[in-house]
């Protein structure tokens, strides 16, 4: 069976915030029959059991929303106990959770810490930047609420990534955002471009252009490369290094096919991608179908194959092996077909050109370090780390790259 991971929406698109640029809030329209969407115990158990009956090098559960912490700590306690119940001896289980952090209290933080959940907290920069679009249902700023949740994580020594959505609020302020995150002691960053269109394919006011994305990434790189390559992890940059060193993709956007994971909605409905949760692409429901059937669904296969139907210009592009035509979401907007050139292409090229030498040097360093460590392990076998089953953030990645799990793909070779 093919490897796959899960992106689960236990509270569907429900959220306690109402961020202006959120693309998922409107997905509530898919399930208008209920105002409050919560995954039932039956769906949760079926989900965990059926997934853990498949053969995977790492059982990868990604909890997302909307806001997954609306489910409360009790839900995640059930998750962990079901994973223990259905996990075979020696199985590796990874839980990731993407959150706005505003509802995290000590009980939740303690649980996430104890079970090594990989947390991603959305924070777009200092208050005057963050609060521009990230507001609650009453229209009030959310920055202080986020910091309160992050304090609970810190008190309980839970590591987390900061996820920065790059929108018109911060795209011209890369250095300010980067310095702010470092000043706060946040060393794991993820930068995501906000690229949203109306139905006619016009860019929405808060979204960014390809040129802006390229300039932003170059500015972040220029802050990071001279001094922080060993202390600050930037997901996008780590993925480039993984690609250069191991020739594998640890993010779907850099791959050749979009059959990489499944989205599981609160009621067990399955879709192929977070950005394509829509009726025509509903693959089935986990209460009625097996993962084998879902994997072989013609709709899923056809969806996945679109990724490599890229533009003719991509064929001749020197960055094709790194970019693979970019994410479908940036190609099929406004009724365009998959062979439409990525909306971000111009910026991606600027970024790849600007950073090529630096990434090549870093890739060389990693390869050399790995060789040295292998040599040392042969000399002293007692130093070889043993995978204890559950992969912690700081444990060596099971793929054997020599990188920490949190900085690598989490896959077993
Ligand atoms: S459409 Fe984009 S986000 Fe979705 S699976 Fe493909 S590359 Fe990934
Ligand atoms: S940089 Fe542009 S042309 Fe090159 S592969 Fe990516 S999308 Fe295609």
Catalytic residue among 274, 279, 360, 383: 274
Q: What tokens appear for 208 in the block?
A: 């960014």
**What is the Cα–Cα distance from 92 to 75, expressed in whole angstroms?**
21
Distance of CA 8 from the midpoint of ligand 2 (Å): 30
Q: What is the mean pLDDT of residues 82-105?
A: 96
| Nearest alpha-carbon partner for 178 in 226, 246, 240, 118 | 226
pLDDT value of residue 90: 87
407 within 8 A of 250, measured Cβ to Cβ: no
The torsion angles phi and psi of 188, rounded to 5 degrees, stand at: -120, 110
**200 DSSP 8-state letter:** T
**pLDDT tens string 302-352:** 999 999 999 999 999 999 999 999 999 999 999 999 999 999 999 999 999
Helices (H) and strands (E) in the chain — how many of each? 13, 10
Q: What is the mean pLDDT of residues 9-13?
A: 97
pLDDT band at 412 (very low <50, low <70, confident <90, very high): very low
Distance of CA 347 from the midpoint of ligand 2 (Å): 10
Q: How high does pLDDT run on average in the chain?
A: 92
| Cis peptide leading into residue 410 (ω within 30°) | no
**pLDDT tens string 222-242:** 999 999 999 999 999 999 999
| Nearest alpha-carbon partner for 94 in 127, 56, 124 | 56
Q: Is the pLDDT of residue 398 over 70?
A: no
Q: What is the mean pLDDT of residues 63-73?
A: 96
| Nearest alpha-carbon partner for 66 in 138, 26, 14 | 14
pLDDT value of residue 118: 95
Q: What tokens appear for 169 in the block?
A: 């609020």
CA dihedral 344, 345, 351, 356 (to 10 degrees): 150
**pLDDT tens string 275-291:** 999 999 999 999 999 99
**What is the Cα–Cα distance from 234 to 208, expressed in whole angstroms?**
20
> Does the beta carbon of 253 lie inside 6 Å of ligand 1?
yes
Q: Is the pLDDT of residue 393 over 80?
A: no
Burial class (CB in 10 A: 0-12, 13-18, 19+), 30: middle
pLDDT band at 390 (very low <50, low <70, confident <90, very high): very low
pLDDT value of residue 68: 98
Pocket of ligand 2 (CB under 6 A): 310, 313-314, 317, 319-320, 323, 325-326, 342, 345, 348-349
Query: Over pLDDT 70: what percentage of the chain?
Result: 92
352: three-class secondary structure by DSSP: helix
């Amino acid at each position: 069976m093919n490897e796959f991971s899960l992106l689960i929406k236990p509270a569907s698109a429900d959220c306690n915030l109402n961020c202006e640029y959120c693309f998922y809030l409107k997905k509530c329209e898919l399930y208008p029959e209920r105002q409050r969407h919560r995954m039932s115990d039956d769906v949760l158990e079926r989900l965990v059991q059926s997934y853990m009956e498949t053969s995977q090098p790492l059982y990868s559960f990604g909890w997302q929303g909307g806001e997954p912490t609306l489910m409360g700590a009790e839900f995640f306690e059930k998750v962990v106990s079901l994973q223990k119940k259905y996990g075979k001896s020696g199985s590796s289980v990874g839980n990731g959770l993407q959150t706005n952090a505003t509802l995290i209290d000590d009980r939740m933080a303690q649980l996430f810490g104890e079970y090594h959940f990989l947390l991603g907290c959305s924070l777009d920069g200092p208050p005057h930047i963050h609060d521009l679009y990230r507001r609650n249902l009453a229209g009030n700023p959310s920055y202080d609420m986020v910091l309160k949740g992050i304090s609970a994580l810190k008190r309980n020594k839970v590591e987390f990534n900061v996820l920065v959505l790059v929108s018109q609020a911060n795209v011209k302020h890369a250095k300010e955002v980067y310095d702010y995150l470092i000043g706060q002691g946040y060393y794991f960053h993820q930068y995501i471009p906000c690229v949203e269109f109306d139905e006619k394919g016009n860019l929405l006011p808060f979204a960014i252009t390809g040129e802006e994305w390229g300039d932003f990434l170059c500015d972040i790189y220029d802050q990071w490369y001279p001094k922080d390559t060993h202390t600050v992890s930037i997901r996008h940059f780590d993925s480039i290094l993984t690609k250069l060193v191991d020739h594998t993709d640890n993010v779907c956007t850099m791959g050749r096919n979009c059959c990489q994971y499944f989205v599981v909605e609160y009621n067990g409905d399955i879709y192929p991608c977070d950005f394509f949760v829509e009726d025509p692409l509903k693959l089935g429901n986990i209460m009625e179908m097996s993962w084998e059937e879902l994997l072989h669904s013609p709709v899923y296969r056809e969806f996945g194959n679109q990724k490599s139907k890229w533009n003719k210009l991509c064929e001749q592009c020197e960055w094709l092996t790194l970019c693979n035509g970019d994410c479908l979401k940036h190609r099929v907007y406004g009724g365009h077909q998959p062979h439409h050139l990525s909306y971000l292409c111009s910026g991606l090229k600027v970024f790849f050109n600007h950073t090529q030498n630096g990434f090549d040097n870093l890739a060389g360093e990693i390869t050399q370090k790995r060789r040295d460590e292998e040599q040392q392990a042969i000399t002293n076998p007692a130093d070889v780390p043993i995978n204890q089953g559950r992969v912690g953030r700081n444990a060596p990645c099971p793929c054997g790259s020599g990188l920490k799990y949190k900085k690598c793909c989490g896959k077993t070779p």
